[in-house]
Structure 1
Amino acid sequence: MNKFILFFFFILITKISAQETLPIYADYLSDNTYLLHPAAAGIGSCGKLRVTARQQWVGVKDAPSLQTASFHAKFNENSKGAYGLILFNDKNGYHSQKGLQGTYAYHLDMGNENLFKQLSFGLSMSMVQNEVNQEDFKGDPMVEQIRISDFYFNADFGMAYHYKGFSSYLTIKNIMLSAKNDLNPDFESLNLRNYILGAGYFFGDKNKLQFEPSVMFQYKDITGEKIADLNFKAYKQFDTTQLWAALSYRRSFDSSAFGDANYVTPIVGLNYQNLMFAYTYTQQTGDIVYSNGGFHQISFGMNVLCRKRRASACPNINGSF
């Protein structure tokens, strides 16, 4: 009976996490803010195509993996409206989900040619295929060997404010989504809303070094869990190339599921003309460690449909050379 209770608890918690649509990692630090914040769609001087591939717990069978492809841009050079599209494939052992997310964003320009000042709003709608495959759970009479597949819809809403080198985002994720429990349909649905607040500041001498410290804070309704990211990026610019590196520290607090967790994530990146490449490695630290294997991610991007820059701003705004 204890084994069954543990298994039930594991399934419930894992499904809750998986049904939150796109998992939140350190992708946003690789010039991929749109994966996290719908208000970032079309916010910069270029349209952005980004592809990522992530593998967690290397050496562990059926470990979590995630692949994403995204694109976002303004409708035209003078438009205040923008659009975005994300395709993703998220797999975690017996559970997987494939999704399509579309975004509309509106950018209110409050500056001029010499001053970047902008207020932005974004709304994303998602359609996700959710699949649970328990056919490999053999030899345990308490676990039914079945495959369940269904669809669900979700929405995220966000706001952003930029002023010169300052950037800030507020996003509410999963505003339409409640967790379902396939093992017990009478179980009360759970609110999966996640509040995300982020801010950063970009400064320095472009002929020497430039820096961008930033923070991000998450609050999850269902567990009361609080997650904080402390980030620091450094940039070195050349004629057609920019080298950059980042270090991120993530700490979770008050997690009722698995306790507090700590993650250290170094990132290295290269921007060449309109191309971007980044490698991300994450190592979990602290008293509770799920696996000794690290988390690896590769990101590739291309900036297209670039327009004339208006004024100095953070790299997420002026991201091409």
Structure 2
Amino acid sequence: MAKKNTLTVILFVLMSFLASAQEGLPIYTDYLTDNYYLIHPSMAGAANCAKVRLTGRQQWFGHENAPKLLTLSANSRIGDSQSGIGGIVFADENGYHSQKGAYFTYAHHLMFSRSEVDLNMLSFGLSAGFIQYQLDETSFLFDGPDPIVSGGVESATNFNIDFGFSYHYLDFYLHGTVKNVLENSGVNNDLSITSNMRRYLFSTGYVFNKYGSSWSFEPSIMFQLRELTQEAAIDLNAKAYKTMDFGRIWAGLSYRKSFDGAEYVNDGNSIDSQTLNQITPILGINYNNLMFAYNYSHQIDDVVFTNGGFHQITIGFNFNCRRARYECNCPAVN
């Protein structure tokens, strides 16, 4: 492929990262490391244990200003009540853009089963928080004065909310969340670009287990849609769990496909297009109350910024655990 064509697609990829740099907490595959609360506020306090999760993600090792993300989340049921609370703090750097944020969550869980043995629960959650955006223009190169380039560090702090629901019925689950419900100006005050950062997320899955077996299997999907640009993507996921004396070991595979892409002229001077196609293997272990997971995302398109992938490590701790009340294979809850 000609150099100029490669640069065209690379520029599209980079602009896609920058376009999402002001949307709050980025959505990767963190939720698959026993951390659905990170994207669905209705999961705060849904599990039998209080959970703390620390995640670090680094993209494109060896490249200056490559995207990186650090998140810390915690959530718990409030005593024996039907309410749960949670909190998330994160720091995200993406080239010249960076953002820091903190959310607080309240969730309420309604039980419809006659007893807690059979899981039939509907949950609602609301997260509210502040996000500080920064755009560092000190190293921008331009010829002469430019009204949209200040040459300094632009910053803005905005308030926003996320709202969602979850439904668990035995081994089945369904989540839906609206992120960035409110409109605001963002860091560059361009209302046509940043006024609407609303994003819709839907997740569903089922855990299969043969009676008496120590193995269980969980296929799931996650669909996301950005309202302003109508950009959409889907995750197709599969996980396998093995129950051990000390806890559980598990592994999974996630495939993300975007429905939007870039067009370019190939070597034959015809027009081709490319969408985001990303595959992520996941390995994890629950040892008593500790959890450790690693995943590696690799973009499998023809034209990429670099052959290097995206590394992510998650460390977790469960505490204030109650007994596993439900007769179901539901690792996110039981």
Deviation at 1:305, TM superposition (A): 1.0
1:246 aligns with 2:257: no
Matches within 5 A, 1:59-70: 59-70=62-73
Deviation at 1:219, TM superposition (A): 1.1
Partner of 1:46: 49
2:155/2:187 contact within 8 Å kept: no
| Distance across 2 between alignment mates of 1:114 and 1:306 | 17
What secondary structure, in the 3-state scheme, does the structure 1 residue paired with 2:140 have? coil
Read off the aligned partner of 2:323 and give its amino acid letter: K
Question: Does the C-alpha gap of structure 1 residues 42 and 192 become closer, same or farther in structure 2, counting only changes over 3 Å?
Answer: same
Deviation at 1:194, TM superposition (A): 0.8
Question: Does the C-alpha gap of structure 1 residues 140 and 51 become closer, same or farther in structure 2, counting only changes over 3 Å?
Answer: farther
Partner of 2:275: 260
Question: Does the C-alpha gap of structure 1 residues 152 and 232 become closer, same or farther in structure 2, counting only changes over 3 Å?
Answer: same
Unaligned runs of 5+ in 2: 1-10, 264-272
Q: Percent identity?
A: 46
Read off the aligned partner of 2:299 and give its amino acid letter: Q
Partner of 1:303: 318
1:164/1:312 contact within 8 Å kept: yes
| Distance across 1 between alignment mates of 2:129 and 2:261 | 27
Read off the aligned partner of 2:28 and give its amino acid letter: Y
| Distance across 1 between alignment mates of 2:299 and 2:59 | 11
Deviation at 1:107, TM superposition (A): 0.2
Deviation at 1:263, TM superposition (A): 0.5
Partner of 1:272: 287
| Distance across 2 between alignment mates of 1:19 and 1:188 | 10
Deviations 1:177-235 (A, max 9, x none): 345462x7575754221111110101214643210000011111121111010000001
Question: Does the C-alpha gap of structure 1 residues 181 and 128 become closer, same or farther in structure 2, counting only changes over 3 Å?
Answer: closer
Matches within 5 A, 1:22-101: 22-76=25-79, 78-101=80-103
1:316 aligns with 2:332: yes
What secondary structure, in the 3-state scheme, does the structure 1 residue paired with 2:220 have? strand
2:185/2:191 contact within 8 Å kept: no
RMSD: 2.3
Partner of 2:300: 285
Deviation at 1:278, TM superposition (A): 0.2
1:171 aligns with 2:177: yes
| Distance across 1 between alignment mates of 2:51 and 2:252 | 20
| Distance across 1 between alignment mates of 2:164 and 2:157 | 24
Provide the aligned length of Structure 1 versus Structure 2.
Answer: 309
Deviation at 1:256, TM superposition (A): 7.1
| Distance across 2 between alignment mates of 1:222 and 1:288 | 26
1:12/1:181 contact within 8 Å kept: no
Read off the aligned partner of 1:199 and give its amino acid letter: T
| Distance across 2 between alignment mates of 1:20 and 1:81 | 28
Partner of 1:232: 238
Deviation at 1:21, TM superposition (A): 0.5
Unaligned runs of 5+ in 1: 1-7
Matches within 5 A, 1:44-193: 44-76=47-79, 78-111=80-113, 112-138=115-141, 141=144, 143-180=149-186, 182=188, 185=190, 187=192, 189-193=194-198
Question: Does the C-alpha gap of structure 1 residues 255 and 222 become closer, same or farther in structure 2, counting only changes over 3 Å?
Answer: farther
| Distance across 2 between alignment mates of 1:186 and 1:305 | 45
Deviation at 1:140, TM superposition (A): 5.3
Read off the aligned partner of 1:156 and give its amino acid letter: D
Deviation at 1:237, TM superposition (A): 1.0
Alignment TM-score, normalising by the size of structure 2: 0.86
1:95/1:133 contact within 8 Å kept: yes
| Distance across 2 between alignment mates of 1:157 and 1:130 | 22
Read off the aligned partner of 1:276 and give its amino acid letter: M
1:215 aligns with 2:226: no
1:195 aligns with 2:200: yes
Deviation at 1:113, TM superposition (A): 3.0
Read off the aligned partner of 1:82 and give its amino acid letter: G
1:155/1:177 contact within 8 Å kept: no
| Distance across 1 between alignment mates of 2:13 and 2:251 | 36
Partner of 1:204: 209
Alignment TM-score, normalising by the size of structure 1: 0.90
What secondary structure, in the 3-state scheme, does the structure 1 residue paired with 2:314 have? strand
Read off the aligned partner of 1:229 and give its amino acid letter: D
Deviations 1:50-106 (A, max 9, x none): 000000112211100000011000111x20111000010000111111111000000
Question: Does the C-alpha gap of structure 1 residues 247 and 48 become closer, same or farther in structure 2, counting only changes over 3 Å?
Answer: same
